Structure 1
Amino acid sequence: MRSALCLSITVLLAGCGSAPASTDHPRAVEARSATVMFFSDAHAQLEEHPEVFREPDGRRISSRGGGYARLAEAARRIRGSVGGHALLVDGGDTFHGTGPAAWSRGEVVLAAQRALGVDVGIPGNWEVVHGPARMRELLGDVGYPVLAANVVDDASGEPLFPATLVRDVGGVRFGFVGVTDPDVPRRQPPAYSTGLRFLDATVIAPHVRALRERDGAEVVIAITHLGLARAIALAERVPGIDVVLSGDTHERVYEPIERGGTWIVEPGAFASFLGRLDVEIERPGVRPRLRWELVELRADRYRGDPHVAQLVADALAPHRERAGRVIGHSGVPLERYGVLETSADAVVTDALREATGTEIAMSNGFRFGHPIEPGPITEGDLWMWLPVSTPLRTGSVTGAQLRHFWESEIEHVFSRDADQLFGGWLPRISGMHARFRTDRARGERVVSLDVGGRPIEDERRYSLTACAREGDPEDTLCRIANVKSAVTHEIDVHEAVRRYLRAHDPVVLDGSRRVVADDLPPHVFSQYERR
C-alpha cells in the first residue's frame, strides 16, 4: 500500500470555517470527524471484470476487480470503521456503459445502485443517453438527492435539480453543491439533450457562499462531472470550496491536487475504485484536517457483498444469453486505457474502414470499457465498447480539413487553458497516421498526417467513414463539418464490428503506432499527468 498516498495535512482554505459555536455546547471543545466516500463513472459495470492497476513504479498489474458487490463491501467496511459517520457520493455516469444498461434503458442498475446506500449524487454527461425524460425518471428513482446547479429546462429556465445539500455527520456540517458537464449538447449527440440547457460551471459560486454564510457549512464540497483539468480550474475560480470531487475523465488521483487551499481528487472508474476522504475538525473556527486515500477494489482484497451480488445477478439474468453470445476472438489483450490510441479502438476503426472501403475511418476517443483478455469476444463486450450504436456515414474531406480537425482535437485534449478542453481523449483512426507535439502553440502542433503511407495534400479529397450522430447535420462526420458527398448507410457500427470479427478470427494487431506525440511517452494513460 502506498503510505505516501494516504495523506493527513492541514488545509489552508480561503474563506473556510463558519462562526465559532457557543462554548457551552458539548461539541465545542471536542474534535469531530466524518468520512466522505466517493466513486464516479461506474458506467453500469455491475460485475467484477478484468482490470489494470498501476504501481508507483509504473508497473502494471492485470487482475480482476471492481463491480457493485465490492463497492458495497468497501463502503460498508469504511462505515463500520468510523462508527457510521460516513457519506457515500456518486459522481455520475451511472446508467450507461454496458449492453444490459442500454437494452434496459438503465433499469438494470437501479436495484444495486439503491442498495449501495448512496447519500448524494450528480448526473454525468451520459445520463442523457435515453433523453431528458428517462434521465429524470432514473435519477428520481435512486432513493437519494441528486444535485446539479447548472441544468435547467430550456423553455422555462427552471432548474431540473436542487443545487445544494447540507448534511450533519459525526458533528461535522457538510455543504454539497453539484455541477455537471456544460458541454453535454456538443459532446453527446445533440438529440439526447433536446429541451435542456447547461450553464457554465461557475454558476456554483453564489451557492458556495450561501452554504458558508446562510447554512453554516464547515466543509464545502463541490461534486463535479467536468473532467479533472476543468475541476482544477473551477477550484481556482470559485473561492470557498474545501474539496472538489471530480468525475468524467476516469483519472485515478492517488495524491490530492491542491490549488489555493482547495483539494481536487478523482476516483477512477468502472466501480474499480472508491475514494475515501477523512475530515476532522479539532475545534470551532479551526480549518479542517483532510486525509485522502484511493482504495483499489481488487478481487484479492474484497470478496463482495453477497446481497448486492444477488441483486446484480437478478438484474442481469434476462440479458445473459444475449450478452454472452460469442461474436469473435482476440489473440491479444484489448484495452481502452490510452489518451493517444488504444488496441480496442484499433479494432473498431479497422472494422469501420473495412465495412465501407474508405481510405480513413474515425471514431470518438471513448473512455468507457474495461480490458478484454485474449479469448472470446462477446456481444456484451461489443456493447461495452460502443454502448450506443449509430449508422455509418461516409463522405469526402480535404487534406486541409483533416489538418484543421486534428489541430482542433489536439487543442481539446492537451490545451493548457482548461476552457478549451473538450471531451477527453484523441479521436481513434484507421488508414491514417498522425504525428504532433503538445508543446507547440495552438494551430501549429501537427507535425505530419499520412494517409495510405503518403503525406496528405491540402487540396486533395480523402474518403472518410465515421458515425452519424443523432441530431448532427447530414454533412458532419465525427465533428468534421461541411463534408462533401455524405452518405448515411444502413449498416451500423455494431454490425460493422461483428462482420470484421467474423472475417478476422482471431483478431491480431501489428503493433504499429497510429498516433504519435513526439514530446510524450508512447503510452499516455492520464490526460492530466500525461504519462
Structure 2
Amino acid sequence: MLVLDAGNALFKSSTPGAPQERERAELLLEQMSAMGTEAMAVGARDLTLGTDFLTKAGKGEKKLKLLSANLVDAGGKRLFPASTVVTVGGVKFGLVGLSPEGPVATQQGVVGQPPVPAAITEARRLREKEKVDVVVVLAAVPYMEALKLSKEAGNSMDFIVQSHEGRSAGVAQRNDYATLIPPGERGRQLARLELSMEGKGPFVDLTETERAKEQVRILDTNIRQAKERLATLKDESARAALGEAVASFESRRKALLAQTGGRTEGLGRSHRLSYTSLGPEVGDDPELKKRVERIEPPGSASH
C-alpha cells in the first residue's frame, strides 16, 4: 500500500488564525508520518505559517516527504524536493508535488511558478532517468489547472490527484493518458485506488469498463435478434427501418469497445477507485482523541 496526500491538509484556511493552529498542524504532520504517508504536496492551506514552518516541522518526520516542483524563493531556488521515488510491491512509483501558481501571501518572495510545465518536466525526468513504472502527480492546484495538466501531459504521467477547493468524492476522469482523481474533501473521505499492473499503456477504469462490457453483451444479443428477424422480413420499408437499427447498434458497440481498449478481456493496466467516509462509524484512537481535544476542546468553535 502507498499512502499519499494531495495537500491542503494542515490548516483550515490560507490565512493565520487561532494560536492553536500551529500545534494542530504539527500533530497532523506527526500522525501522517506515523500512518506511513510517503509524500504530500504543499498546498495553499499548508502555507498558512509560511515555508519556514513547513521545513522545520517536516524535518522531524522520518517518513513523510513534502513536495513541490514549482515553489521557489526570491532567487528562483526550489524550496522543497520536486519529487521522490518509492517502490511498493515491486512497482516503482515516481511522485511529483505541485503548489498553486502565484505569490505566497504569508511569505515575501516565495512564489509558485506555472505548475503545468513544472509537472511535465519533472514527470518526464522520472520516466526517462529514474525508469519509474507509474508517475503520480499530487496536484494542490485549482481543478481547472489540474484538468489542463491532464490534457497536456501526454504519456508523461499516469495519475493526477487534485486538491484545492475542497471537492467531495467523485469519479476518475481520463482525458488523454493521465487519469484525474478527486481525493475526497478535507479528510472526510479516504480515497482508495487499486491498481493492476499487467500490461502496458494508459490505465483503464475498471468500473467504467465493466459497465461498457455489460452494454456490449446486451447489444450483441440485440444485434443477433435483429439480424434473425431481418432475414425473415419481406416488406422493404420494414427491412430498411430494421437495417438502420442494426447499424445504430453496431455503431454503439464499436464506441463501447473503443472505451474498453478495443477488447472485452485482457484489459492490461487498470484501476478501481472507491471511497471510505470517515464518519462516526469509524472508531477513534482513544489516546489520539485526547491529544486532539486538548487542541480543540469539544464544544469549541474550532472542534
TM over 0.5: yes
Which one of 77, 88, 92 corresponds to residue 169 of structure 1?
88
Question: Which amino acid is 1:125 matched to?
Answer: A
Q: Is the 8 A contact 2:98 2:140 kept in 1?
A: yes
Structure 1 pair 131–284 and aligned structure 2 pair: CA distance change class (3 A): closer
Check if 1:200 corresponds to 2:114.
Answer: yes
Q: Distance in 2 between matches of 1:105 and 1:165?
A: 26
TM-superposed CA distance for 1:244, in Å, is: 0.4
Question: Which amino acid is 1:145 matched to?
Answer: K
TM-superposed CA distance for 1:111, in Å, is: 3.4
Identity fraction in percent: 22
Residues 92-111 of structure 1: pairs in structure 2 closer than 5 A? 92-97=7-12, 99=18, 101-102=20-21, 104=23, 106-111=25-30
Check if 1:139 corresponds to 2:58.
Answer: yes
Question: Which amino acid is 2:100 matched to?
Answer: D
Which one of 46, 69, 76 corresponds to residue 149 of structure 1?
69
Q: Distance in 2 between matches of 1:200 and 1:285?
A: 28
Structure 1 pair 241–103 and aligned structure 2 pair: CA distance change class (3 A): closer
Q: Distance in 2 between matches of 1:298 and 1:315?
A: 16
Question: Which amino acid is 2:111 matched to?
Answer: R
Q: Is the 8 A contact 2:191 2:274 kept in 1?
A: yes
- Structure 2: runs of 5 or more not aligned: 203-267
The two structures have a TM-score, normalised by structure 2, of 0.69
Residues 67-82 of structure 1: pairs in structure 2 closer than 5 A? none
Residue 360 of structure 1: aligned partner: none
Structure 1 pair 235–318 and aligned structure 2 pair: CA distance change class (3 A): closer
Q: Distance in 2 between matches of 1:290 and 1:197?
A: 35
The number of equivalent residue pairs is 231
Check if 1:231 corresponds to 2:211.
Answer: no
Question: Which is richer in helix?
Answer: 2
Q: Is the 8 A contact 1:90 1:121 kept in 2?
A: yes
Q: Is the 8 A contact 1:108 1:316 kept in 2?
A: no
Q: Is the 8 A contact 1:101 1:107 kept in 2?
A: no
The two structures have a TM-score, normalised by structure 1, of 0.41
Q: Distance in 2 between matches of 1:142 and 1:93?
A: 18
- Where 1:214 maps in the other structure, the secondary structure is helix
- Structure 1: runs of 5 or more not aligned: 1-85, 325-377, 382-531
TM-superposed CA distance for 1:118, in Å, is: 0.7
Q: Distance in 2 between matches of 1:283 and 1:379?
A: 51
Q: Distance in 2 between matches of 1:219 and 1:296?
A: 27
Q: Is the 8 A contact 1:228 1:249 kept in 2?
A: yes
Residue 282 of structure 1: aligned partner: 198
- Where 2:93 maps in the other structure, the secondary structure is strand
Question: Which is richer in strand?
Answer: 1
Q: Distance in 1 between matches of 2:21 and 2:65?
A: 24
Q: Is the 8 A contact 1:95 1:101 kept in 2?
A: no
- Where 2:78 maps in the other structure, the secondary structure is coil
Residue 213 of structure 1: aligned partner: 128
TM-superposed CA distance for 1:103, in Å, is: 5.7
Which structure is richer in relative contact order (CA contacts within 8 A, separation 6 or more)?
1
TM-superposed CA distance for 1:284, in Å, is: 6.5
Q: Distance in 1 between matches of 2:100 and 2:157?
A: 18
Q: Is the 8 A contact 2:101 2:114 kept in 1?
A: yes
Question: Which amino acid is 2:291 matched to?
Answer: D
Question: Which amino acid is 1:380 matched to?
Answer: S
Question: Which amino acid is 1:171 matched to?
Answer: G
Which one of 273, 292, 297 corresponds to residue 292 of structure 1?
273
TM-superposed CA distance for 1:296, in Å, is: 1.7
Structure 1 pair 160–285 and aligned structure 2 pair: CA distance change class (3 A): same
- Where 2:187 maps in the other structure, the secondary structure is coil
1:8-67 CA-partner distances (Å, limit 9, x unpaired): xxxxxxxxxxxxxxxxxxxxxxxxxxxxxxxxxxxxxxxxxxxxxxxxxxxxxxxxxxxx
1:444-476 CA-partner distances (Å, limit 9, x unpaired): xxxxxxxxxxxxxxxxxxxxxxxxxxxxxxxxx
Q: Distance in 2 between matches of 1:231 and 1:270?
A: 18
1:333-377 CA-partner distances (Å, limit 9, x unpaired): xxxxxxxxxxxxxxxxxxxxxxxxxxxxxxxxxxxxxxxxxxxxx
Residue 257 of structure 1: aligned partner: 173
TM-superposed CA distance for 1:99, in Å, is: 4.5
Q: Distance in 2 between matches of 1:211 and 1:311?
A: 37
Question: Which amino acid is 1:289 matched to?
Answer: S
Check if 1:314 corresponds to 2:291.
Answer: yes
TM-superposed CA distance for 1:161, in Å, is: 1.1
Root mean square deviation of aligned Cα: 2.4
- Where 2:60 maps in the other structure, the secondary structure is coil
TM-superposed CA distance for 1:262, in Å, is: 1.7
Residues 33-112 of structure 1: pairs in structure 2 closer than 5 A? 86-97=1-12, 99=18, 101-102=20-21, 104=23, 106-112=25-31
Q: Is the 8 A contact 1:111 1:311 kept in 2?
A: no
Q: Distance in 1 between matches of 2:162 and 2:200?
A: 28
